[in-house]
Amino acid sequence: MPENTASPASPVYVIGGGPGGLATAAALGERGIRAVVLEKSGAVGASWRGHYACLRLHTTRRLSALPGLSIPRAYGRWLSRDSLVRYLEAYAHHHRLDVVTGVEVSRVERTASGPGWLLHATGGRRLPAAAVVVATGLNHTPRLPDWPGREEWAGRLLHARDYRHPEPYAGQDVLVVGVGNTGADIAVDLAAGGAARVRLAVRTPPHIVRRTTAGLAAQRTGILCRRLPSRVVDGAARGLARLSIPDLSAHGLPRPATGLYTRARQGAIPVQDTGLIRAVRSGAVEPVAAVASFEQDKVVLADGSRIAPGVVIAATGYRGGLEGLVGHLGVLDERGRPTVHGPRTAPDAPGLHFTGYTNPISGTLRELALDARRIARRLARTLPRA
């Protein structure tokens, strides 16, 4: 058989050893399909290992478990970063997953003849695959806006991916850019950890929700709302916010004009309150206008004001980084995200699946678990038999 031709005996290669990749490999294994996970780092869950230390999941333990293994009750209702990493390690061991670390896939191509795919990987490897599941996730490549003047700025600029603990910033004036869940968590962590001043640059005011309301986790509400019309959810969320969330307009965080679910469908997930409201009301975290540009010793904000923080931490998100891997296959949209995901494949790319490239209001880990089973079910029907 030619080297670049897949056969029925070829494995399904899963690119990425995070939750989505591990879950999919386990679900395939349950159906008797050989899956090999290729992870470019030295261990599973690499992106989670690199997150800030205070991180806790905004989804519940029960609704964050992957197929075939519950999360231990001892980890609590809201998992810490380290607990999730331990769970992922245990998950790979429990399912006896074939995980190959230190191997990075640089390009996925169609085979020269017949069905299947060819992966180009570290060390000149050329790996024929019966099917491919791309699970490198949204948090792949840090996105740092190209602010005018940032190269000449005298202060320290870093992406949120490089933030770990508040101790190095004790006594310093810090500006956090971006008020998603990551930016909010880091700002609160800095304020509690001894930063002299913490400001939070806000482009679009976020929807803020309580983690639980009357004992019901916000995630469960998100699951219930997914099939309802946006206008219904927007109206209900607006009423609930008036009852449960104080008006922070006087502190620089007005209520959003666009509805919660409308924003969520556009990719802006609500911020779960883990201390932000209290920090803003007390003045420990000061919302300010968005960053417009940098000068040598100042940061210029969108309202024309100038401030002089010593450190700027950009919680400005990530890019999927899929262009080099699959961009030539016509399966990405204008944002560089897959045009289809889960069990569906592009019409001219059968056997090429993606998981982990959405940010659902119902919880990413829950959707990864559902996607894993759907992908496995689809491949069990479509893969040629040996």
pLDDT confidence tier of residue 9, bands split at 50, 70 and 90:
low
How many independent structural domains does the chain possess? Answer: 2
Burial 349-381 (b: 16+ CB within 10 A, else e): bebbbbbbbbebbbbbbbbbbbbbbbbbebbee
DSSP letter (8 states) at residue 325: H
Whole-angstrom distance, CA of residue 101 vs CA of residue 38? 6
The pLDDT value given to residue 112: 80
Point out which residues pair with 100 in neighbouring strands. 38
Span 61-96, pLDDT tens digits: 999 999 999 999 999 999 999 999 999 999 999 999
Q: Residue 369 sits in which domain range?
A: 12-140+318-382
3 occurs within a structural domain: no
Contact yes or no for 100/320 (Cβ under 8 A): no
> Does 88 share its domain with 157?
no
The pLDDT value given to residue 12: 97
284 occurs within a structural domain: yes
> Does 120 share its domain with 21?
yes
Which CATH number fits the domain that encloses residue 277? 3.50.50.60
Question: What percentage of the chain has pLDDT greater than the value 90?
Answer: 83
Span 93-109, pLDDT tens digits: 999 999 999 999 999 99
Whole-angstrom distance, CA of residue 38 vs CA of residue 23? 13
> Does 131 share its domain with 151?
no
Contact yes or no for 191/197 (Cβ under 8 A): no
Could you say which of 282, 314, 346 is where a domain stops?
314
5 occurs within a structural domain: no
2 occurs within a structural domain: no
Answer whether residue 1 shows pLDDT above 50.
Answer: no
> Does 362 share its domain with 297?
no
> Does 54 share its domain with 20?
yes
Please give the average per-residue pLDDT across 252-269, as a whole number.
90
4 occurs within a structural domain: no
1 occurs within a structural domain: no
> Does 111 share its domain with 183?
no
Whole-angstrom distance, CA of residue 304 vs CA of residue 120? 49
The pLDDT value given to residue 139: 83
> Does 87 share its domain with 161?
no
> Does 247 share its domain with 120?
no
Closest CA to 91 of 106, 103, 79: 79
Closest CA to 47 of 11, 88, 90, 2: 88
C-alpha 80, offset from chain centre: 15
H/E run at residue 200: strand 197-202
> Does 107 share its domain with 165?
no
Closest CA to 203 of 277, 119, 266, 268: 268
> Does 56 share its domain with 201?
no
Could you say which of 294, 314, 334 is where a domain stops?
314
Contact yes or no for 120/60 (Cβ under 8 A): no
H/E run at residue 24: helix 19-30
6 occurs within a structural domain: no
Of the ranges 60-74, 209-223, 300-314, 365-379, which one carries the lowest mean pLDDT score? 209-223
> Does 132 share its domain with 180?
no
Could you say which of 290, 314, 338 is where a domain stops?
314
160 occurs within a structural domain: yes
> Does 73 share its domain with 199?
no
Structure tokens at 46: 């690499």
